[in-house]
Structure 1
Amino acid sequence: MKKFTIHSMIMVFVLTIGLPPIWRMNCALARPKNEPVELTKELVVNRLITETKEIDSIMKNLTYFRDVISELRNLEVYPFELINMTDSILVRYDKAIESLEQQCKEISDKAAMHKASLVDAMEILREMVRSEPVQSMFTVLHNGNTKRLHELNNINQRITGLWSSADSLIDFVMNQSVDIQKRGKNKKESQEEDIWYDKYQKKIDLIKDAIKEKASLPQMEELFKIERFHIGKLLETEKYDLARQKIFSLMDRYAEKKEELSLLLAKVEFSSGNFREVLSTISDISETRHNREQLLTLKIQSLYSLMEYEAIWQNYQNYDLTGLQSSVRNLVIWIVIESGFALRIQWDYSQLASMMDNKGSFKHHVLHALSRTYLLSGDRQTALSIMERALKHKVLSENDRIAVREIRLALAQVYYEMNEYEKSLALFYDILNKREDFEKALTGIIWCYIKLNNDRKADIALRKLINLKPESPYALEAIYILARKNLIKVNEEWKKIVYLDKEEKRLEATLRRINDKKKKNTRKEDAPKYEYACNELSSLLKRLKNENRMNYDSLKNLYERIERTCKMISTHYHSGTYQETVFDAKREEALFLLDSTLNQIGNSLAEKKLKLFSNAIQNRSKIKEIVKKAKIFAVIAEIDRLRWEREFLDWKKAQYRDEEIAIDSSIAAVHDSLSIEHLREKKKIITNTIDSLINSEDRLVNSRITSLKLKIDTLLKMEMDEDDAAYLNYQYGEMAYIEENMKYSMLYERYEMEMNDYSRKLDDFRKGVQLNHPVKPQMPVLDHSNSIEKFKKVINDYPNSKFCPSSFYSLAWCYNDLAKNDSAVSFMGEIIRNYLASSYAPQAWMYCGEYYFDKGDLDSAIICYQSVLKYPESEWFEEALYKLAWSQYRLSNPEKAISSFLALVDLGDIATSGASLLEKESMDYIAISFSEADVTGEKGLQRALLFAEKLKDEQKGCRILHRLASVFREQGRYEIAKKTYTSMLGMYPGYPKSPVVESELVKLLEREPAANDINGAKIKIYEKYNYKGEWAKGQSKEVQREADSIAQKQLYEAAIGYHQRALQKNDSRAYQEAMNAYREMITVYPESKVANECHYNLAEILFAVGNYYEAAEEYMAVTRRYPDSKYRETAAWNAIVASQNLLKMETKLQNR
């Protein structure tokens, strides 16, 4: 039927049923205005279905009647002497049959016309159910149905008359023979027959039995030929039930022809699709030269249809094909190759294919099957060559034409899979001209354009497919796959963003390190290398920053496009075909009834059983399956979007926290109060932004989880793939887990508020302000029952699912949260035992290791930590290495502990983010391991020195020895600590931390009662490590700043030390050293916080030694240079006093 619009279909239907316009209008107006449309729709649907059943009954009755007439017509060609009819009687008999045939044809044509009108009415009603109904048409359809039912009743009455006439004609034949009359009298007529056909067929059988009994052998052969010809006609018209019934009747009548009739019965069963019956039937037939090919084709095709590939392969792989007709030979070869292919047997099928006869049909099938075996083995080139050769063979039959179509499609598909999209595209365009393969070809064209990145043409082709074949499952599948492709794209784009961001940070950190080394480099020959490295890194970093990447809005738009696509599929294809409007359950039910009925009508009208494309109802079933997939996928995409949005918020929070850390570093580096205030304001804004992101995440999770759980609940009531069901149950559990934790957090916050209130009321009660003792609030209990239930459901109901390891992992954390650690370890153990390739395995090992470590089972813990090290890319690798070293240390195995700790230090050196906490702790434990080698520490120091020397790594050696000296110092083992510091300074004079080492050594020396020149040592540290010294020239700016800061501190402490000693012992030399140190301090570090104090102390010393002139000058300098100094006022008075003393001194000298 051509594709009309709803209005044009209505007009055609109105013209078909021939209702006058005025009558139609009155009928339309006669329906009450307030009558619900849905009620009328249901009524019309039910009436049309009833009409369908009535027409089916009439058509079946007419089929039986035609067969009876055919049987009566066959009597005319029976031998004359057997039927006892004169020529005049035969003429009257023939005219009677002709009259019945004519009447049957008229009734049949009328019934067929009614059936066509009914189909049109149902198609119109279906369109009205799918789209917005035309109100007046319900009455038109209803009245048309009433009229047709009335006419069908008249047809039934006419059919009753036909059967009566046929009965009279049969009785007439029976009356021509005394033998037949006797048989008729002896045979009691059944009164329980529901179908007239059975009654009249029995009468005809009586006639045939009587005729056969008096026939000679040649006459019986003639009679049998007539019967066989009649069965052949029934087979041609697909009247298999009638043919089967007649064969069984003939087997009783012609027992000697049983095998021939059995072969005929086998053909009937084969045509009916009863392949088991075929095998059963032919098993009793003896093979002869005449029936060999027929038995072979029936048996091998039945076995193939029953997918008995093993039986075919065993029995026919080496079958003797000699003497077989070319088409039969090719058929056998084809089915054997197909069976071997289905069994995935590796064999040289070309030997079998070489026996193919090029003159017969099915050669295309053989070559197609052979090419597929080469595809299975991965030899695409040979497969292509075979398919291309197959297309050059001449097409001899309809079967060959179908095979050629399949080969062309397969060839295009192979080109596509080989990435030869241009060739594939050309072939698909050629196939596009064939109406039967239009949808498949256009679908192939769409994917070729997608692979060629020609989105515009892909979109045009997709739109064309949807517009021309909106009901096509290929169109819908293309839309659905594009939605899935978009989800893949959005995930890839997000991974790209995260990766590029991470790489940029890594390269920036690497560039900073190389720049630092470049600045510290003292060898001129290395300068070009550093310059080249910096330029290359800068260039790479620039390319990374210029790399195209999607932003948040672009990714969000992709998710929204997926959502719109899935919604469009569910909305417009929900009924199994394309529809423009959404409809309710009643309309869906009405559509289902119409589809089912139209399908039955379509099957009854089908002329061929073999079809390349599905019929309408199969297409609708496919579409409904895709709609179901789209509904599931929509929720999967929504779950994925929630994951992405949370990851995005975490990513943004991490970026802002990095900014916070950078601001903290800047605050520590600057001393300008205005700059510090500006940085703190900037940090406050960032902190508020992070808080805002946290609140946004909470709102997002709350709103999305509630909605998603409801959707998942709805989907889980549907039948679906096990993987989808497992995934949805797992995700439900994950969302329930989040929800449970959020609920617990909320309850705990409320509990803390209630506890504060309780504490206040309790204080009031104890003070007597409140009379009643307050009730202590109940602490909330974490409940993970819902999440645990879902995770266990995945494990128990879908044990082979890929989501089982995820469920075991999540279950373990549920029990961990509930402080049921034994259960948690048990579930982590399931991952270790059964899912070692899972991404959860490293953490599962780590969790178990921590569990055993905390319990003191260090041997088991070590096994677990060592297992984590088998996953070097895991985020737990570093921590596992650290805990492994710690476990070995606790087991008093220092050598292994040191080795493990050192490996962790190596990891820290590789990392771009600087030394980690674990790296620092590892250095501590390496040092501790050496320090505990003996009581005095001498042995430990010697081992450490040798170890550092063997490392051939100055940085690591220095760090180990420095930490060892610190450990000795912290343990109160000062002598060995001094020796360690001294040894280290001797071995590594250029160590960047040497200023720290020497300052720590000086602190140790200060503890000794001996009169060491500590102040002199501090001056030496200043002179060695200040930013103008030789040592600083080989260091980076950062190291220079740190060393200069230590040098300044040592100079200040030396000045104070000399000053205090001078005051205590009135030592003039000490005064001089103090003055020198103070002068150096205020000259080199005039901006220092202690510069005003040093300057004031210098003036004080000058005053103390009687140098009033310079003292007055320096006091005045203090008042002018340090306006905010606490010494300013005192310095001003002291300047006056110094001036007065100077005046007195000068007066005294003059008086002399």
Structure 2
Amino acid sequence: LDTSAIAIIDDASFKTADTTKSKTGGRSADVVAEYLEANQRSPHSLDAMINKQLNDALYERLVADAKKAGNPSTATAYLNVARRLKTSSTASLEEAERELLNKNIAFYQDLLERTTTDNGKADIYYELAKNYDLLTQKDQSIAALKTLATNYPNASQITEVRFRLAENAFATNHFAEAADYYAQVLENKNSNFYDQSLYKRAWSLYRISDFDTALPLFFSYADKIWVKTSKTPQESEALQNALDVISLSFIQLDGARSLDAYFEKVGTKFYESIIYNRVAKTYIDKKIYKEAAEIYEAYIRRHPFDPEAPELSSAIINTYDLGGFPKDVMLAKEQFVEHYNAESTYWKQASPEMRERLSPTLEGHIVDLGKHYHATAQETGQIADYEKAAKWYRAHLALNPKEEDAIAVNYLLGEVLYAAKNYPEAITEFEKTAYSYNTHAKSKDAAEFALVCYQDWDKSLNDLEARKGIMSQRVASTIKFAEKFAEDKNAAIVMQGLIQYLYENYKDYDDSVKKHSVDIEAQVKHIVATFPQQKSSALLLQGLTNLYLHFNDHESAVRTAKALLA
């Protein structure tokens, strides 16, 4: 923050001779005006030496007229015009001028003793301050102004005087005193010094760490400048400085809580998101990342449906990433998805354009979360972590990604559900991966994985009735595999395994087992008819015959034995 650029208008100057020219009554002021106008019209080739001689002659004439002036005020007016002819306002005072100014001061001091009215005395102190200022006697000038301000608060010059005193206090780092004087200037809302005093009172309070009082003043100034359709370069610079120091003030107070409290008090403003953003970025510039993220979070809490909320939520993620907080990055991505997903309140009220913008970001975060928790689960072996991965894989599928991506995610979902020992849901997802999409490279693997899930699910069930309860599904899944991948060598193997399972685990030939046997026989016949010369076909018929004999179903056993011998 460039505190050297605080000033936005030129420092106040005492009333120049231009404003009192009509009071001089002499000819010199008119001569000056004529000369300055003529000089502007003069060609640039005018000899510099002649130009200087003219300036010097005119200067001497003005000083001479000042000596003959009837009163000190007129003399001072002449001298001010004379000083304008000098190449620099800081040029050394010539002896005649110094002599006149000292005489003016003596005159005013004498006149002060003889003046009885408050207005008259106020005017005298003002002229004294002016003459001391021209003599570069700053302390004496300020002393005269303080006397005027203290004793004659109703003087016509009081606003300017207070502003001068404020500027002097500010320049000399007496910020508490400056703040008081600027406050007095602000009592006159119509003065030319109002905006400058508003801005610099805020600065004065900031410099003495009175942030609570400074903030409303900075905002008042920003409000006035922000709405201007046309700003001067100085105003634009001052506005940016004001916004910078507003950010610093909130940081000096209590960050997000202070921001929330302020806008809770003043209500919603058109620039509210800008302020939150600037405070957050100021934290980031200072490498204070968690506090920066808290600022973004605070704004979203206040305005959860703001069109800028998704952008600020992304800023939270980027901030944690910039600061090197991977766990917080993942947590922020979770919060993003929860707040903006297709089932959220935000999504339901969002425009079609907003939804279109959100979708790629949502999908990206969901993919990252699924991979993150899957990798975490593989490291920890914790079922809870596998379940978290499953949650995000499901969320990804809910976005209806393109089929290629959906297949990959569906397969991963099956894997994490299997690892979490959630066999029923794992089977559902593997079968969906195997049979619900166009045939793909993972189709057979997914179908086989579903059968593995049935095996492990069966082993996890200690109750025989419970195991029987899933047998229909298992048979159907095995047959479906054999139908879909009939030419695969594993088709016969999985059917043989199913027959063996029934043989080893079932003694009663009840209706359910009979139905399973019929379904299995139908698929075995299809395999044998397709591959009559394959050894695996013969083994299937042999196994099925043994199964029927196991259940004393001799009629069925004879039928399959004949098929074997055919």
TM over 0.5: no
Asked which structure has the greater RCO (Cα within 8 Å, sep 6+), the reply is: 2
If the length of structure 2 is used for normalisation, what is the TM-score? 0.43
Larger radius of gyration: 1
If the length of structure 1 is used for normalisation, what is the TM-score? 0.23
